[in-house]
Amino acid sequence: MQSLFVPTGLVALAEIGDKTQLLALLLAARFRKPWPIIWGILVATIANHFAAGALGKWVASFFSEATLSWVLAASFLAVAAWMLVPDVVDDDEASNFKRYGPFLTTLIAFFLAEMGDKTQIATVMLAAQYEHFWLVVAGTTLGMMIANVPVVLAAHFSADKLPMTLIHRISALCFLALAGYAAWHAATLSGWIA
């Protein structure tokens, strides 16, 4: 169950204040139809995270377990640093698709916004680390929904009222802990630690 719970918690925390959460707020304010937006987020996230998870599994097949653990440690460390850089969303990002309605606009905008995003990179790394690919994709998708659905349902709530710096620091610490664990695991596999 660790393959489900760790990705869920990490992505839910990492998503707070992320550009896709700000995009959800923008779409909810524009369309004022929460359910098509929520379904658009779900479908876009499943598609995006499935592809990211498959990439993570594929890349993992090229490395030994020790090498993969070192790569994961470096990657988690990079994401920990990236978490400290706040995201912004361009107001025009969603307005270009507005004519397609709330579901299709959300689907397209979210899928594109997630490309190369912290949570997509985290999904690649988590799928490479954990054995159960489907649980990782389900967990990262659930984490996205946990972070974004309340924003859509309470569109009047402003992300500016959240302690974003603290949330980003906590999230960075979580990724730093994963980097430490992956480095310890790699050192053990490499014979550096008995």
* DSSP code per residue over 33-70: -HHHHHHHHHHHHHHHHHHHHHHHHHHHTTS-HHHHHH
Calpha distance 69→118 (Å, rounded): 19
Calpha distance 4→139 (Å, rounded): 5
Sign of CA dihedral 147, 105, 99, 87: positive
Residue of higher predicted confidence among 35 and 87: 35
Percent of the chain surpassing pLDDT 90: 27
Mean pLDDT of 59-85: 80
Three-state DSSP at 112 gives helix
- Its pTM stands at 0.72
Residue of higher predicted confidence among 116 and 124: 124
Calpha distance 50→44 (Å, rounded): 10
Mean pLDDT of 46-68: 90
Q: How confident is the model at residue 159 (pLDDT cuts 50, 70, 90)?
A: very low
Calpha distance 18→169 (Å, rounded): 13
b/e 104-124 (16+ beta carbons within 10 angstroms → b) = ebbbbbbbbbbeebbbbbbbb
Q: Where are the domains of the chain?
A: 2-189
34, two tokens: 């929460």
Mean pLDDT of 135-151: 94
Using alpha carbons, select from 168, 87, 170, 68 the residue that is nearest to residue 126.
68
Mean pLDDT of 175-191: 83
